[in-house]
Structure 1
């Protein structure tokens, strides 16, 4: 088999066989295919596309390119949740204890933040003493004993994707639905979960800026799951403004504890958490209808079982559980600076990506993978789209330790907030995609 032949076929828009895709992934993994041919391949895919079977085959062989996690030692259906990335997205910290309190087994492998998007591991490491570096067997033991674990990726998962993504990132070939879907789903398959719920973001703070592109990605990932024996549900949600009010690390954990404790239950963040949690309950067989799932989840919240489960997860991973009773202890920034509105009006639009980058400049995120984060800094939003504001009122609070990038962060945030004379409303959920089809809500 010859790589030139594969490039010619894909350049003409022809379908690649399972054997040809296996050959390509093997060459990516072992280094026998050079970067320039990989970049030519990814550009051909961007321009000519891949059909559903090609995409599923690419996903399968990428998932098999390195280590895989064996979760067969966990009793019951194992669930996982994945977000395509956004700003103020603390859903994992809320919904994992919610569903675990209802008996769902959750083995969650999470990542770190990069650029304007936050990372669950960085948030968790705001909690003193908490570990996220566990072996696969230790993760299995944690889930069997406590019902859930939230850990970092272990071993050499999906090395083909690591190399492919690095090349796509510098060759303008990131925005291919087939390549994005196979990248996300190969990691989910290698991580071993049987039931997967995907939160596909759309809007200014999301990777998929356009709603129709987000639905195409959702359909592609659900189709991959169906073809490869996984129960996959995707929900398309809004990321045109931060989902939660907190954008940072310690701030995010404090917000999650607040929701689990009974505060902010009317917030968009809680609404998305409940929607995702219901789908996990259905996929894991813990409820037969959305109404039954919601009733069980609400009971876990109202009785304190969900908060107790979060406390248990923290303790099992070595963290200081006193943060549950005193979440303000997570916020140790030297000072808080309000960012004030300059005029009366309504908040009519936010650039969520710019707001995320402002938090990154304060030290809450990374520009490069090797950067460290400051867990105590960030942004706490005071206004949402559609809300009235008067000149001199705070739009947000900046939690600050260093002055170095403060002026730049302040300017970036101010440009990201748009005021108008009329009230507007943003949809929160656009639709649901399952193996049976899609349901549009907007």
Structure 2
């Protein structure tokens, strides 16, 4: 018997397990439009409250994967790998990681997303680059991966279309932080991209969707278990998100930060630790290195030699961006009308911040969305963010606001002064890589 959508929703709302056929039918309806946005929202909320068993999550993931094309890279001649983050503030790791590991010999067909809730989206950042095509034809996508070694794009019309629709619904219905929905969303795109291996960045902290270690490990184990069960060799690192990862949060400002990183200007930062850890994990999981030391050395050589920057520049140009983008970034990236320093009110040490609130301030400036179809202002955000533990003198800037108007800049400045706490105590060392999940 075919169950109508509202019955599927009712069963899940009541905490019952859904069978594979019902899940597949509902997901087909999301893809072809016969399921309404309201029904999709109700389904997402029912899953948020009631959860899903492992077999349900596997069925949901595979149904979303099979709602469109599934790519094959049999002719690429390289290991095919990718990385995904559950989302954070100032998390632009993918922008640097993809070209670094591509320069080491991996093929990286990276399917990325837009911002979710308070977190920034890789696609929104890349759209700061004039001409960059986040939805190229499959032929151009393949050409870019073959020639540049990596291509960071969005979901095409035929790649996991059911996920694309559910992703947008989750963003505006407070259902982002559901383990089964996150698992299916991430893995449906990755499985459809034809990967051989995958590394996952599961964030914890006040700027993450998973605040505590226990729930982060639950999500990581769900992702790793489902992906490995589907034949994709997968590991996860749990990383700290109790402050912005990069020293920038926004769109164009994070592209600037990416280019600075690829020039070798972010050595010794938390961001470098995360990027290099994931590069090593990808190279080992793909079989291009046998130890963390060998893998890290390969990644560092790719960065220091300029090979990674060359891969990034080639990717940008092949996907429609300027051929001289990395040499003349200031001529191409949109600039905010007002840039205002945020100065410390007293001498002291940066003690804490709420990273989620920083992300919400980017949205308030216009750098994120409150509706799926809402345009964003790529110019706005924060740069020069000092890390927690930094010593400050009174009047010394610990951030800069990039805004469209003086009024917007002043409001964001006042909020940032409240978000960051300055005290006198030195901070204990807090590792940015918290743990590793492999099974």
- Comparing 405-414 with 138-147, greater Cα deviation is found at 405-414
Distance of 2:328 and 2:28 partners within structure 1: 51
Within the candidate set 172, 175, 190, 2:192 is matched to 190
- Comparing 285-294 with 269-278, greater Cα deviation is found at 285-294
What's the counterpart of residue 434 of structure 1? Answer: 438
Distance of 1:34 and 1:399 partners within structure 2: 38
Equivalent runs, 1:121-270 vs 2, <5 Å: 121-165=123-167, 173-270=175-272
What's the counterpart of residue 370 of structure 1? Answer: 373
Deviations 1:368-414 (A, max 9, x none): 33333333332113421112222211121112332352333223222
What's the counterpart of residue 400 of structure 2? Answer: 397
Distance of 1:370 and 1:161 partners within structure 2: 16
Within the candidate set 97, 110, 113, 1:108 is matched to 110
What's the counterpart of residue 349 of structure 1? Answer: 352
Deviations 1:268-305 (A, max 9, x none): 11110111111111222211222111111111122222
Closer/same/farther in 2, CA of residues 19 and 364 from structure 1, 3 Å limit: closer
What's the counterpart of residue 423 of structure 2? Answer: 420
SS state at 2:235 partner? strand
Q: Is the 8 A contact 2:140 2:319 kept in 1?
A: no
Closer/same/farther in 2, CA of residues 93 and 5 from structure 1, 3 Å limit: closer
Deviations 1:393-438 (A, max 9, x none): 1121112332352333223222211122312243311111113xxx
- Comparing 16-25 with 414-423, greater Cα deviation is found at 16-25
Distance of 2:195 and 2:288 partners within structure 1: 16
Deviations 1:157-212 (A, max 9, x none): 33433454566566654433122211221122223222111111122222222222
The number of equivalent residue pairs is 435
Distance of 2:128 and 2:34 partners within structure 1: 42
Within the candidate set 405, 414, 439, 1:411 is matched to 414
What's the counterpart of residue 439 of structure 1? Answer: none
What's the counterpart of residue 294 of structure 1? Answer: 296
**Shift, 1:354, TM fit:** 1.5
SS state at 1:324 partner? coil
Q: Is the 8 A contact 1:331 1:377 kept in 2?
A: no
SS state at 1:339 partner? strand
Distance of 1:360 and 1:374 partners within structure 2: 9
SS state at 1:181 partner? helix
Closer/same/farther in 2, CA of residues 26 and 312 from structure 1, 3 Å limit: closer
SS state at 2:326 partner? helix
Residue 80, structure 1, aligned to residue 82, structure 2: yes
Q: Report the TM-score when normalising by structure 1.
A: 0.89
What's the counterpart of residue 99 of structure 2? Answer: 97
Closer/same/farther in 2, CA of residues 285 and 415 from structure 1, 3 Å limit: same
SS state at 2:82 partner? strand
Distance of 2:338 and 2:43 partners within structure 1: 50
Q: Is the 8 A contact 2:78 2:105 kept in 1?
A: no
What's the counterpart of residue 303 of structure 1? Answer: 305
What's the counterpart of residue 361 of structure 2? Answer: 358
Deviations 1:279-335 (A, max 9, x none): 111222211222111111111122222222222222322322434234444463344
Closer/same/farther in 2, CA of residues 376 and 47 from structure 1, 3 Å limit: closer
Q: Report the TM-score when normalising by structure 2.
A: 0.89
Q: Is the 8 A contact 2:85 2:200 kept in 1?
A: yes
SS state at 1:407 partner? helix
**Shift, 1:230, TM fit:** 1.0
